[in-house]
Amino acid sequence: MTFEPFDIVVVGAGHAGAEAAAAAAKLGSKVMLITQMLDNICQMSCNPAMGGVAKGQIVREVDALGGWSGIVTDRSAIQFRMLNLSKGPAMWSPRAQCDRMLFSSNWRQVLESVPNLSLWQDEVVSLSFDGKAVSGVVTRMGHSIPARAVVLTSGTFLNGRIYIGEDSWSGGRVGEAPAVGLSDQLRELGFEVQRLKTGTPVRIDGRTIDFSRLQMQPGDEHPAKFSFFDTKPLAEQKPCYIANTNLRTHDILRTGFSRSPMFTGRIQGRGPRYCPSIEDKIDRFADKDHHQLFVEPEGWRSQSYYLNGFSSSLPLEVQLEALHSIEGFEQARIFKPGYAIEYDYFPPTQLVYTLETKCVENLYFAGQINGTTGYEEAACQGLMAGINASLKLQGRAPFILGRSQAYIGVLIDDLVTKGVDEPYRMFTSRAEYRILLRQDNADQRLTPLSYSIGLASEERMRRVEEKQRYAAELKGAVEQISVLPSEVNSWLEEHQSAPLSQRVHLSSLLLRPELTFEQLLSIAPEVADGLQAVPDDLRDEVKHEVETVIKYQRYIEKEQEVANRILKFEDVPLPADYDYFTLTALSYECREKLNRYRPTTIGQASRISGISPADISVLLLAFAR
């Protein structure tokens, strides 16, 4: 079989590859997506969920840019929860439990419906080159497929090796072959290649779990959704549950430490710090008498349950005995054991901001190949790599997001500037501008940018404009309408809020933390009437937008001011031999890291982990002139 030339070949059909292929094709490129198994497109290899703290913000951003992860999640969800509602809106993070098989099936339907996109089941074993630029791929079946650009999204498959106790074998996932050959070829071209490790827990037969002895964790009473588009929120939800390990569980697990591939040194790659295996948690936190576990269903009709927090590579008999010591799991049977997997990755300092490699032109890396962990981190990298590969081939300017524009910008900047020495996971604490980068305003931040390059649809853009118009009108009304003490004091007392002594605007009342926009509607019929004029599918978003902007306006403006000031001085040089320990106005951590990393500009300094906006302000005062 002879293949016609493609603009872009995407290697791997996980979360990064699917987003890359769909975005590049939408932008007009002729795309071929190659994967070992078409039936496993966007497989949820680990937990069957999307979103979470900071990860939910990323999915909302991918959706706002015109990606598909949010839509597919909404179509596949079996439970939805908004995390951190007890905190400010900058910390609110959506999370959805998904039907694992439905998620994969829905993604395949999406990819099969995208014009300009072809699918091919095969394994890419090497790349072809024309000088210093990539020119195509060669597959296991012996086919040469010409392409002007290649996006590698190989996940854990590059020289993947699976470990359960003292047993190990080559594999990308249990039951699937690894990808062999690409790492060696790229190493010969001058790429640095290293190893990382991740893992997964047992999958349990739900018919053998005593759920009556577990704590039920239902979804939100009024579930939201991920996509800003016209997907529907869940009408029915399936509960999750909470369980706990105990001291007996820990003692049983310790009996397997001598055969643990992690403790015996057979696994060299470093695992994720913030998602450790159960044996690692017990070893590191020996004083803990229990660890919380989350029991998550894998589908509407499936009896398979994922035991989140119980990832392990211990011998199978130890995993089972420890599982049976947990309350509610005494009779549990499993469908699949827990295991660890070690795989090749390429330190991402070898990339530029478009995710193109420095060594080879028109070759892009996205996902776990860059040292990240998580479906969401992979999806956003794939989206950005697909966008930039297509734009470059068309001779257009690159699409790069800054740290004050998106969590995606934070992630990519962290990767290419600082690199990784462990699997990278996004947290809200990694972003300096959390109030600006809320999950609710991702569409307003990013859809106009995506629309300008032709990715986000006109329908999406019109929806953002409509939302902004209604929000501005409603905010104006709240700021203009005033009330007298005689009109509201009895109402304020009912809501445990201090009475007024003079006329004030409604916006002043809304600044009170104990009062909500919803409550104000009962004393402001004009505002209530204005809200009713908003279309049903926008009403909740508009209401939340107005309340957030009014309550946090001072903080938003201050954060935007800091962001603008730092952007203004992005390229201000820092002295090469300055002793930062003499600058006592800086935090000690900042002085230590500046002396260690020696950033050349204010912009670089601002992106070193642990250096705060306050530290940057000190540096600006010291060196901007």
CATH of the domain at 485: 1.10.10.1800
pLDDT tens column, 211-245: 999 999 999 999 999 999 989 999 999 999 999 99
As a whole number, mean pLDDT of residues 612-622 equals 87
Query: Which of 340, 371, 396 lies at the terminal end of a domain, its last residue?
Result: 340
Q: Are residues 497 and 599 in the same domain?
A: no
- 390 falls within a domain: yes
122 and 149 both lie in a single domain: yes
Predicted structure pTM score: 0.91
The reported pLDDT for the residue numbered 465 is 97
Coil, helix or strand at residue 283: helix
Whether 23 and 74 map to the same domain: the answer is yes
Please, what sign has the CA dihedral across residues 472, 477, 480, 486? negative
Residue 1: inside a domain, yes or no?
no
Instruction: State whether 377 and 494 are in the same domain.
Output: no
pLDDT digits (tens, 9 = 90+) for 578-612: 999 999 999 888 898 888 777 777 887 887 777 88
- 420 in any annotated domain: yes
Task: Select from 340, 364, 399 the last residue of a domain.
Answer: 340
Of 49-53, 125-129, 413-417, 422-426, the one with minimum mean pLDDT is 413-417
| Residue that has been written with the tokens 């990715």 in this structure | 455
Q: What does the mean pLDDT of the chain come to? A: 94
- 290 & 349 share domain: no
149 and 285 part of one domain: no
Predicted confidence (pLDDT) per residue in 148-163, tens digit: 999 999 999 999 999 9
Would 564 be classed as within a structural domain? Answer: no
Q: Is 561 a member of any domain? A: no
* Containing structural domain, residue 511: 458-556
- Average of per-residue pLDDT across 467-496: 95
* In the predicted structure, residue 108 carries a pLDDT above the cut 70: yes
Report d(CA 526, CA 530) in Å as an integer.
6
Helix (H) or strand (E) holding 527: helix 525-532
Q: Provide the edge-to-edge strand list for the sheet that holds 93-98.
A: 49-51, 93-98, 77-83
| Mean pLDDT (whole number) for 564-572 | 78
% of the chain exceeding 70 in pLDDT: 100
> Residue 79 sits in a domain of what CATH number?
3.50.50.60
Whether the Cβ atoms of residue 478 and residue 530 lie closer than 8 Å to each other: no
Q: Please, what sign has the CA dihedral across residues 140, 145, 148, 149?
A: negative
Q: Both 486 and 606 in a single domain?
A: no
Domain CATH for 582: 1.10.150.570
- In whole angstroms, give the CA distance from residue 199 to residue 197: 7
Q: What is the CATH number of the domain that holds 271?
A: 2.40.30.260
Taking residues 519-538, report their average pLDDT: 93
In sequence order, the 6+-apart residues with CB closer than 8 A to the CB of 334 are 202, 203, 204, 205, 320, 323
Domain presence at residue 84? yes
Ordered DSSP codes for 47-71: -SEEE-TTHHHHHHHHHHTT-SHHH
Same domain, 300 and 210: yes
Distance CA 426, CA 61 (A): 13
pLDDT value, residue 308 = 96
- Beta-bridge partners for 205: 304
Q: How many domains would you assign to the chain?
A: 4
pLDDT at 418: 85
Task: For 433-456, write each residue's pLDDT tens digit.
Answer: 999 999 999 999 999 999 999 999
Indicate the residue among 556, 589, 612 that finishes a domain. Answer: 556
Residues 107 and 141 reside in one and the same domain: yes
pLDDT at residue 609, as a whole number: 72
239-253 pLDDT tens trace: 999 999 999 999 999
Residue 596 belongs to some domain of the structure? yes
Of the listed ranges 228-237, 505-514, 614-623, the one predicted with least confidence: 614-623
Do 16 and 140 belong to one domain?
yes
Q: What share of the chain has pLDDT > 90, as a percent?
A: 84
347 with 336, same domain?
Answer: no
84: region left, alpha or beta (phi > 0 left; psi from -120 to 50 alpha): left
- Res 625: pLDDT: 65
User: Does 47 share its domain with 194?
Assistant: yes
Q: What value does the mean pLDDT take over residues 271-292?
A: 90
Question: For residue 72, is it within any domain?
Answer: yes
